[in-house]
């Protein structure tokens, strides 16, 4: 944490403490040398990590929290509020309501019901739990959840937990839900809810939400939008037309999940679920004989499946939104736009390389994947692993992903016509989610190219 932030934190801590100055002093016990030694050990152990905050880390979905989020979280920890009930966190519950309203407003919802959660998985679980109760089939059996084969793996598992049938809808050649197949499934009347992913985890593809919304003219089903990763891109002004059209349809969803701990500059432990119809709150109704005493106002635990939740998460999110409001053209939006630009530029660079093979479609958001040129998918997979390791030696940290060869042009391999399009190939993958990635792109490309040269030169001819 930069020194400036420690100073700001100390000053704001003094202000917070003044609020309790009427109480008799109750100083914390001194930490002493033992604590200092332990913290040194902790710091040393934590060196065993990839440098997630640095732009040369361009691997998985990892983005450092904004310094103001760190400071606000740390400040809130001196109170350690619990946003389950107003008894446990009055100010932080109010801040959660405001922070969640800012997210709903970003999606142009005039009213909503929603709250923060521990992450995207739990937020999706709540959305599908509600969906399962509101979308039974005519014969009374639970209706199925349908999601694309590129949707997050937890949707299948969550459906299992909820006792709901799950159907994976194949994706098309660009990784978006195949609408012809979706429509044939909807015609069976077995689907109660379609999970539409705006920003799939592996490749950042954006399902055509606008066209799926249009299908509701012919079929009855709920739409849950999993925008855990991509939701904030609704603020970006540089998306391709079809991607923009999908984001513009988001207000038609029944529920939305967005993760401030992915693109919203928050520490882990901050997901969010939103429902368009506030009346779904009735499904959460429960009695808690131990809580809900201090106020007749809404306790967030009354509209959440989780009980205790970190009030500090709400405080950190609220503070970050004050500094970086969700405004098109604002600093926060420009950061997302630069990630998309970086992905397009990297794809162009890779498409001109003698070593790499790019998919037949451009990145829709800021996630990009590519294969290594080789005679067969197996040989390509082995080379991808070697280049991944070689790049790491040059301090460039990428990711790997297994994806079907059908994402690449058909003539990419020897005897391509004999290869099953579903054959999995290990690809290199990069999530360019830090705004600085664009500035660092030349460094990234130089290191990646050097790693590829080193591996190709080591192959005996
Ligand atoms: C699209 C999508 N949905 C859901 C999740 C699960 O979110 P979490 O890891 O916060 O539980 C992820 C995580 O990567 C995701 O990318």
- The domain spanning residue 267 has which CATH number? 3.40.640.10
Residue after which a domain boundary falls, among 323, 346, 368: 323
Task: Please give the torsion angle defined by the CA atoms of residues 10, 12, 14 and 19, in that order, rounded to the nearest 10 degrees.
Answer: -160
Paired tokens of 43? 């710091």
* Domain limits for position 387: 331-457
With cut-offs at 50, 70 and 90, classify the pLDDT of residue 291: low
CA distances from 376 to 65, 179, 247, 371, 380 (A): 41, 31, 37, 11, 6
CA distances from 33 to 30, 36, 39, 291 (A): 9, 5, 10, 40
Angle 28-31-33 from CA coordinates, rounded to 5°: 165
Q: Report the length, in residues, of the chain.
A: 461
Residue 111 lies in a domain: yes
Task: Evaluate if residue 187 carries a pLDDT over 70.
Answer: yes
Residue after which a domain boundary falls, among 291, 323, 355: 323
Choose one of 63, 154, 198 to mutate for the ligand 1 pocket test, by most ligand atoms within 8 angstroms of C-beta. Answer: 154
Q: Which atom of ligand 1 is nearest to the CA of 151?
A: 1
Report whether residue 121 contacts ligand 1, using a CB cutoff of 6 Å: yes
What confidence tens digit (pLDDT) does each residue in 119-143 have?
Answer: 999 999 999 999 999 986 767 777 9
Choose one of 61, 116, 120 to mutate for the ligand 1 pocket test, by most ligand atoms within 8 angstroms of C-beta. Answer: 120
Task: Evaluate if residue 443 carries a pLDDT over 90.
Answer: yes
Angle 97-153-143 from CA coordinates, rounded to 5°: 80
255 and 389 fall within a common domain: no
135 and 232 fall within a common domain: yes
What confidence tens digit (pLDDT) does each residue in 144-184 have?
Answer: 999 999 999 999 999 999 999 999 999 999 999 999 999 99
Report whether residue 120 contacts ligand 1, using a CB cutoff of 6 Å: yes
pLDDT for residue 139? 73
Residue 78 lies in a domain: no
212 three-state secondary structure: helix
Closest CA to 373 of 431, 459, 432, 445: 459
248 and 317 fall within a common domain: yes
What confidence tens digit (pLDDT) does each residue in 392-442 have?
Answer: 999 999 999 999 999 999 889 998 889 999 999 999 999 999 999 999 999
Instruction: Name the pTM for this structure.
Output: 0.96
pLDDT for residue 434? 97
What confidence tens digit (pLDDT) does each residue in 257-278 have?
Answer: 999 999 999 999 999 999 999 9
What confidence tens digit (pLDDT) does each residue in 340-362 have?
Answer: 999 999 999 999 999 999 999 99
CA distances from 422 to 9, 206, 403, 405, 408 (A): 53, 20, 8, 6, 11
pLDDT for residue 136? 66
Q: Which atom of ligand 1 is nearest to the CA of 230?
A: 1
Query: Average pLDDT in the 204-232 region?
Result: 97
367 and 224 fall within a common domain: no
Residue 74 lies in a domain: no
Residue 32 lies in a domain: no
Residue 12 lies in a domain: no
310 and 352 fall within a common domain: no
Paired tokens of 351? 């498409």
Task: Evaluate if residue 286 carries a pLDDT over 80.
Answer: no
Residue 26 lies in a domain: no
**CA–CA dist 117, 128 (Å, integer):** 14
Question: CB-based burial of residue 451 (10 Å sphere; 0-12 exposed, 13-18 middle, 19+ buried)?
Answer: buried
In this structure, the residue with its CA closest to atom 9 of ligand 1 is 120
Choose one of 121, 124, 271, 365 to mutate for the ligand 1 pocket test, by most ligand atoms within 8 angstroms of C-beta. Answer: 121
Report whether residue 148 contacts ligand 1, using a CB cutoff of 6 Å: no
Report whether residue 226 contacts ligand 1, using a CB cutoff of 6 Å: yes
304 and 446 fall within a common domain: no
300 and 209 fall within a common domain: yes
Angle 451-456-458 from CA coordinates, rounded to 5°: 100
Residue after which a domain boundary falls, among 276, 297, 323: 323
**Residue that is written with structure tokens 């999908």 in the block:** 246
**CA–CA dist 423, 73 (Å, integer):** 45
185 and 273 fall within a common domain: yes
359 and 316 fall within a common domain: no
Q: Which atom of ligand 1 is nearest to the CA of 122?
A: 11
314 and 257 fall within a common domain: yes
Domain tally, the chain: 2
Paired tokens of 426? 């290990």
Report whether residue 61 contacts ligand 1, using a CB cutoff of 6 Å: yes
Here the CATH number for the domain that contains residue 360 is 3.90.1150.170
146 and 244 fall within a common domain: yes
Residue 69 lies in a domain: no
Residue 225 lies in a domain: yes
Report whether residue 205 contacts ligand 1, using a CB cutoff of 6 Å: no
270 and 371 fall within a common domain: no
């Amino acid at each position: 944490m930069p020194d400036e932030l420690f100073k700001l934190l100390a000053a704001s801590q003094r202000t917070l403490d003044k609020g309790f100055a009427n109480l008799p002093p109750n100083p914390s016990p001194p930490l002493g040398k033992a604590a200092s030694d332990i913290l040194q050990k902790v710091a040393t152990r934590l060196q065993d990590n990839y440098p997630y905050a640095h732009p040369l880390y361009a691997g998985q979905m990892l983005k450092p929290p904004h310094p103001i989020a760190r400071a606000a979280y740390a400040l809130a920890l001196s109170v350690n509020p619990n946003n389950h009930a107003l008894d446990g966190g009055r100010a932080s519950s109010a801040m959660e309501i405001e922070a969640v309203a800012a997210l709903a407003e970003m999606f142009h919802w005039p009213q909503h019901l929603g709250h923060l959660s521990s992450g995207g998985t739990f937020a999706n679980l709540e959305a599908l739990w509600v969906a399962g109760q509101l979308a039974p089939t005519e014969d009374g059996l639970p209706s199925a959840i349908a999601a694309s084969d590129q949707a997050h793996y937890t949707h299948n598992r969550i459906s299992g937990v909820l006792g709901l049938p799950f159907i994976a809808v194949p994706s098309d050649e660009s990784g978006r839900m195949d609408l012809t197949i979706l429509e044939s499934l909807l015609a069976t009347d077995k689907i109660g809810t379609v999970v539409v992913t705006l920003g799939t985890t592996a490749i950042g593809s954006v399902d055509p939400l606008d066209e799926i919304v249009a299908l509701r003219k012919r079929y009855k089903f709920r739409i849950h939008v999993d925008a855990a990763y991509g939701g904030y891109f609704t603020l970006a002004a540089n998306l391709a037309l079809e991607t923009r059209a999908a984001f513009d349809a988001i207000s038609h969803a029944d529920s939305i999940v967005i993760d401030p701990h992915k693109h919203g500059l928050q520490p882990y432990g901050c997901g969010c679920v939103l429902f368009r119809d506030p009346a779904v709150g009735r499904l959460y109704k429960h009695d808690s004989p131990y809580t809900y005493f201090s106020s007749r106002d809404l306790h967030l635990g009354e509209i959440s499946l989780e009980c205790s939740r970190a009030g500090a998460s709400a405080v950190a999110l609220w503070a970050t939104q004050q500094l970086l409001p969700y405004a098109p053209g604002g600093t926060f939006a420009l950061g997302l736009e630069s990630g998309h630009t970086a992905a397009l530029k990297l794809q162009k660079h890779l498409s001109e390389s003698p070593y790499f093979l790019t998919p037949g479609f451009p990145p829709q958001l800021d996630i990009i994947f590519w294969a290594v040129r080789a005679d067969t998918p197996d040989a390509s997979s082995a080379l991808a692993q070697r280049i991944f390791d070689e790049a790491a030696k040059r301090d460039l940290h990428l990711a790997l992903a297994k994806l079907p060869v059908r994402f690449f042009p058909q003539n990419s391999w020897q005897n391509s016509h004999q290869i099953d399009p579903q054959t999995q190939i290990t690809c290199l993958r990069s999530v360019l989610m830090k705004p600085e990635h664009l500035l660092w792109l030349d460094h990234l490309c130089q290191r990646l190219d050097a790693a590829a040269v080193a591996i190709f030169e080591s192959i005996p001819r």
